[in-house]
Amino acid sequence: MIDITGEGGRRRTFAVISHPDAGKSTMTEALALHASAITQAGAVHGKAGRRGVTSDWMEIERSRGISITSAALRFDYRGHVFNLVDTPGHADFSEDTYRVLAAVDCAVMLIDAAKGMEPQTMKLFQVCRHRRIPVITFVNKWDRPGRDALGLLDEIEDRTGLRPTPVTWPIGAAGHFLGVIDRPAGRAVAYERTPGGATKALTRELTDEQARAELGDDWSRAGEEVALLSAIGADHDQKTFEAHESTPVLFGAALSNFGVARLLDAMVELAPPPAPRADVNGVGRPLDAPFSGLVFKVQANMDRAHRDRIAFVRVCSGRFERGMVLTHAATGRPFATKYAQSVFGQDRTTLDEAYPGDVVGLVNAGALRPGDTLFEGPAVTFPPIPSFAPEHFAVARVRDSGKSKQFRRGIDQLDAEGVIQVLRSDLRGDQAPVLAAVGPMQFEVVQHRMAAEFGAEIGLDRLDYTLARRTDAASAPALDRERGCEVLTRAGDQALLALFTDQWRMRTIARDQPGLTLEPLIADTSQEPR
């Protein structure tokens, strides 16, 4: 008999989060390299001729040098199965990041050694805090000039409230990176750069005598700082880490592959395995219960040859077997899983079985949306993934009227994926939907994908609205009569949204007509992306 709990214990499912340009996708690539999942690393900002990162598979990502959609990478390391989800770093795509964080057990938070805790890092951290996701901190780019290491620890504690507990400590100041002291192992590790950082960095373990002779004052200074850390009790404690009270800290440089292997080891040793996931009633579903899974992402056209649609499902309990027939909790209808795949960036292979913590790609999953639950046996529904409050609005129109069919299909597809929120009304009609976005770069992605994937170039007419509130059918007629306000229906969940030009206009209408229903789209502001 298969030990499902034991198989779940071998899984590590985590996301990499950071402010834009902190090196997130480069780190993802470096982790895959050190796990021997790939043989040569690319870099987002590498020189001409270098390969693009595996997780950045969309053409617009490669051309812009940023991640705009999440990507899953599955690989093995030290007898464990890693399910690593790279997330968009740009604030405009925080909603996609939030969906990913609904599916992971741990997060690796990258901090730029020169910039410290940046705004987007803090916003993503707040989501982790809200979801009680343990956070491992990696101070990146230590091979470039930057801040003082002890000062960075103070900033982490001041800004996050977590007690930093360094696992490794740098030898040499930022920009003069010679190696690290591995505190749990009590050893010094020296690094040697490889050409362009495309292959694994060379490491040498040094004795105290060797370190003193080769590293001189840098070694002595690092030793004094490590002694100080021990004196103040800045040592890793697994209980406080999993309780979201402390954060292990490692130092390195993803682009040079310094400290990356140690981060992989930390994921094996410290990152929590899957645990029972609470359903909508707050009851945890045991890992060895019949299969259940949460759809956290839907993506179309990853395979240009087939133009298919793939739903990413986090296995929450039980054993997944390809071909099993599940129940779609939202509709109660059966869902067949004949085409199940394991995903590595854009590359996919057939997946026959999976266990708690794994990410399964279900192909041609046209009925599934982010936040849906699939299950076998006793019914279960996991809490839905909320949509963020949009702040930017534009009317979309197809440039070539002969492409109307492709236009409708493309808009519906991008709405189902959660790339954009689509709002409609009888007055505007299906050929002029309103696109609602968290950030304006989402509009660029929609225009690019509509042209490249659906063959329907679109024009966008920006609207003056800046905020939305949920309303109801009783309030809609009165709101529609007001200047600076419009009520539309959100396609995804059929919610009625009232759009306003600004906060002042909304408050004036609410004051003059106190009986109207105007509810924030997200009640807990710790989840707000911007």
Whole-Å CA distances, 417 to 22, 98, 189, 216: 26, 14, 45, 55
- Specify the residue for token string 């040569």: 40
Token pair recorded at residue 193:
């750069």
Residue ranges in 374-502 assigned as alpha helix (H): 404-417, 441-454, 476-480
88 is in an annotated binding site: yes
Any residues with CB less than 8 A from the CB of 427 and at least 6 apart, and which? none
With both helix axes pointing from N to C terminus, report the angle between 404-417 and 441-454 in degrees, rounded to the nearest 10: 130
Q: Is 248 annotated as a binding residue?
A: no
Given the structure tokens 């609005």, which residue do they identify?
A: 393
Looking at residue 208, its amino acid is D
Task: Answer for the pair 448, 60: CB distance below 8 angstroms, yes or no.
Answer: yes
Contact in structure between 400 and 351 (CB atoms under 8 Å): no
Task: Name 373's bridge partners.
Answer: 294
| C-alpha 337, offset from chain centre | 25
- Residue 89 annotated as lining a ligand binding site: yes
Per-residue DSSP letters for 422-455? EEE-TTT-TTSPEEEESSTHHHHHHHHHHHHHHS
Query: Parallel, antiparallel, or unpaired: how do β-strands 246-251 and 135-140 relate?
Result: parallel
Q: What is the rounded distance in angstroms from the CA atom of residue 315 to the CA atom of residue 342?
A: 12
Q: In angstroms, what CA-CA distances link 91 with 4, 124, 129, 159, 318? A: 38, 9, 18, 19, 35
8-state DSSP, 41: -
Question: Rounded CA gap, 200 and 40, in Å?
Answer: 8
Q: Decide: 124 and 20 in contact? Cβ < 8 Å.
A: no
Give the Cα separation of 79 and 118 in Å (integer): 35
Tokens 């002779």: give the residue: 213
Q: What residues contact residue 359 under an 8 Å CB cut-off, 6+ apart?
A: 13, 72, 74, 83, 85, 103, 312, 313, 314, 315, 343
13 annotated ligand-binding residue: no
Q: Do residues 197 and 284 touch, judged by C-beta distance below 8 A?
A: no
* Positive/negative CA dihedral, 511, 515, 516, 517: positive
For residue 344 the two structure tokens come to 């590595």
**Residue 306 is labelled as binding a ligand:** no
The annotation places the binding site for GTP at: 86-90
The annotation places the binding site at: 86-90
